[in-house]
Structure 1
Amino acid sequence: MRRSTCAQTGGALFAVEVRMAPGGGPPVMHRHAPGEVYHVTEGEFTFYLADGDGPARRITAGPGDVVPLAGGTPHTVRNESAADAVAFVVHAPGAPMEGFSRAVAALADPDMASVLEVAAANGIELLGPVS
């Protein structure tokens, strides 16, 4: 996993390669202060973005596609394909997302309650299912 840490960027960025198995991804829409940019390198990611009161907008991105998400945007990302998907993801500012990623990775047996606690501690607001 290639990574650029907050320590290397003075807190400005956290960058990581994300590999998502088929069917993977956050189970609910969420939002957080950091913005994100996904550069898809393999497979296919499906993004759901809430732009207002209507249904979430669906975007499918494949190799070479770049999907920017402004901070505070309600969203989720999933792998709805039959193959692994890989993206290089940059978060700015980096600290909340690096904190979340490291804390979840450190959980011995992560259950939903533990992940929800870690999310809340890192400023990630879970919003509910895709509508």
Structure 2
Amino acid sequence: MDKLPVDIATCECLRLGTDEIVVLMGAEQSGGALLAVQLRMPPGGGPPVMHRHAPSEIYSVISGELVFYVGDDPVERVVAGPGDVVPLAGWTPHTIRNESDVDAVAFGVHAPAGPMEAFTREAHALAAGGEPRMEDVLAIAVKHGIEMLGPVPTTV
């Protein structure tokens, strides 16, 4: 077992666009059960489209404010601040955005780890070569079972 408690300063940091994802525990350490991360999202950050996938997720906002768009008919806009917890069952249509003017930080868990960790790592590697083409990101998403559903409806 790794040394406890986890020293976040020594954890692997992955980037997806402007978002930073610090891997606190991944599939290797959890036997595939979960991916635990600290997410730092700057203003304007977050996935650009609604999506869904098999793993369930849960987020606990540490600082700042995150906006969750959840569901499909109708899409609900949920604002979460420090201390708020937002659970999302697998296959729930959703996206997360930082619509404020300050960084937001949250603790998040994906269970099981496999699809989300594999997508995050592959998208991070793709972006290391420069701004990735959207079709390449979409191909990675499909490969890992993430269904892209399109932009957040403007009538939310």
TM-score of the pair, normalised by structure 1: 0.94
The alpha carbon displacement at 1:2 in A equals 4.5
> Structure 1 runs of 4+ off > 2 angstroms?
none
Are 2:92 and 1:73 equivalent residues in the alignment?
yes
Matches within 5 A, 1:2-17: 2-17=23-38
* Structure 1 unmatched runs, 5+: none
- Segments of 5+ residues of structure 2 without an aligned counterpart are 1-21
State the partner residue of 2:62.
Answer: 41
Residues 43-97 of structure 1 deviation map (CA, whole Å, 9 limit, x = unaligned):
00000011x5x32101000111110000000001100000011111100001000
Aligned counterpart in structure 2 of residue 24 of structure 1, from 23, 45, 51? 45
- 8 Å CA contact 2:50–2:150 kept in 1: the answer is yes
Larger Rg, first or second structure (1 or 2): 2
- Over the aligned positions, Cα root-mean-square deviation in angstroms equals 1.1
Cross-structure match for 2:114: 95
Question: Identity over the aligned pairs, expressed in percent?
Answer: 60
Q: Provide TM-score, normalisation by structure 2.
A: 0.79
